[in-house]
Copies of this chain bind each other. A is one copy, B any other.
């Protein structure tokens, strides 16, 4: 096992009605609150009212930044940070899914360091800290609620990249599975794919970490048992809670301890599809992962076979890949890009931006000719 540091200071409040404790938690951090959210779905499903009611009880002063996009852009980060700096915000509450909480992490750093979002993302500043961030999760998928990483995109530079810093752990996150009950089928499915993909990206990382491998197996088994059940019963609290907690664990350290890094090749490749064609993140992963596994089969057959043992209790690496592809299909997520019926797909454009984004995993450094092979396997 390689040397590593295990550290995760986020406190997660999990379960029905946990947002009832939000006011008390916020009051310990300060009363000038910046509330960040997306396109307003939290106003329809009651989450917004629950938060405002808690903030009213403690007489907090609240500024709001609405409209974070589902593939979040750096312009929103800078605009929200400006609002936070001007009003000397004490604490950020980010209510939404990965895009909102990811944006809020960079906003929290920008406010504390009076910096620009893209300078943070490109690691151009020395970060002295971040203002405290509280996540209210409304989509089970990215795991951002309990890790220090954010993904943001920049159309000007044609980049969608990740950045992490220890100051970016949310201080607290509130996970009420009821808040995910209104997520529609397609995004529920993408979220389950995302948690499976995070487990896989970590599994294919650098280092011999057997307990961590077993945890990956456990998380994916949980998704296999409860994912399809949830897809057939979208408002079932128990199934929502199983998937929500599995998604958090897929990327809170449990699947990474003992490895230097995950692979993250499929995420890098998928981010470019999102950047160019606004492909939902989870959909990009279910499209690319089977192709990625087929591409790597001759290179790491034993590793793929061991995954099959932990997840499906089978020994064949080929069968393991088939099972994952079937699983994604069963969840209702696409496994070929053509299923999305995007007009004017341009393969040369995809490859050009893959190269520009250095979309390579830790294990296999793609070359331009490999990109073509890979693309043909999922187009």
Residue ranges of A at the interface with B (Cβ–Cβ < 8 Å): 1-18, 146, 208, 210-211, 214-215, 217-219, 221-222, 225-226, 238, 241-242, 245-246, 249, 254, 257-258, 313
Q: Tell me the smallest distance from the CB of A85 to a CB of chain B, in Å.
A: 28
Q: Which residues of B contact A10 (CB under 8 A)?
A: 7
Question: What are 28 A-to-B residue pairs whose CB atoms are below 8 Å?
Answer: A1-B14, A1-B15, A2-B15, A3-B13, A3-B16, A3-B17, A3-B18, A4-B14, A4-B15, A6-B12, A6-B14, A6-B146, A7-B11, A8-B8, A208-B238, A210-B225, A211-B218, A211-B222, A211-B242, A211-B245, A214-B219, A214-B222, A215-B218, A215-B254, A218-B218, A245-B257, A254-B254, A313-B313
Q: Tell me the smallest distance from the CB of A250 to a CB of chain B, in Å.
A: 10
Q: Are B8 and A241 in touch, CB under 8 angstroms?
A: no
With contacts A254-B254, A257-B245 taken as known, whether A5 is within 8 angstroms of B1 at the C-beta atoms is: no
A211's partner among B11, B211, B219 (CB-CB below 8 A) is B219
Q: Tell me the smallest distance from the CB of A119 to a CB of chain B, in Å.
A: 27
Most chain B beta-carbon contacts within 10 A, residue among A10, A14, A146, A218: A218
Q: A18: nearest residue on chain B (CB-CB)? A: B3
Q: Which residues of B contact A210 (CB under 8 A)?
A: 222, 225-226, 242
Q: A175: nearest residue on chain B (CB-CB)? A: B6
Q: Are B214 and A221 in touch, CB under 8 angstroms?
A: yes
Q: Which residues of B contact A238 (CB under 8 A)?
A: 1, 208
Q: Which residues of B contact A18 (CB under 8 A)?
A: 3
Distance in angstroms between the alpha carbons of A180 and B271 in the assembled complex: 44
Distance in angstroms between the alpha carbons of A12 and B4 in the assembled complex: 8
> Besides the contacts A1-B245, A3-B15, A9-B9, what 17 more A-B pairs have beta carbons closer than 8 Å?
A1-B15, A1-B238, A3-B18, A4-B15, A5-B13, A5-B14, A6-B12, A6-B14, A8-B8, A211-B219, A211-B222, A211-B246, A214-B218, A214-B219, A215-B215, A254-B254, A313-B313
Q: Which residues of B contact A249 (CB under 8 A)?
A: 211
The 5 A-B pairs with the shortest beta carbon distances in the complex, nearest first, are A3-B15, A214-B218, A7-B11, A6-B12, A9-B9
A1's partner among B7, B11, B17, B241 (CB-CB below 8 A) is B241
Q: Which residues of B contact A2 (CB under 8 A)?
A: 15
Q: Are A5 and B16 in touch, CB under 8 angstroms?
A: no
Q: A240: nearest residue on chain B (CB-CB)? A: B1
Q: A2: nearest residue on chain B (CB-CB)? A: B15
Q: A218: nearest residue on chain B (CB-CB)? A: B214
Q: A4: nearest residue on chain B (CB-CB)? A: B14
Distance in angstroms between the alpha carbons of A245 and B259 in the assembled complex: 13
Distance in angstroms between the alpha carbons of A287 and B8 in the assembled complex: 36
Distance in angstroms between the alpha carbons of A257 and B242 in the assembled complex: 12
Q: A220: nearest residue on chain B (CB-CB)? A: B214
Distance in angstroms between the alpha carbons of A12 and B8 in the assembled complex: 10
Q: Tell me the smallest distance from the CB of A202 to a CB of chain B, in Å.
A: 14
Q: Tell me the smallest distance from the CB of A106 to a CB of chain B, in Å.
A: 23
Most chain B beta-carbon contacts within 10 A, residue among A4, A13, A245: A245
Q: A252: nearest residue on chain B (CB-CB)? A: B6
Q: A7: nearest residue on chain B (CB-CB)? A: B11
Distance in angstroms between the alpha carbons of A8 and B11 in the assembled complex: 7
Q: Tell me the smallest distance from the CB of A221 to a CB of chain B, in Å.
A: 6
Q: Which residues of B contact A221 (CB under 8 A)?
A: 214
Q: Are A5 and B12 in touch, CB under 8 angstroms?
A: yes
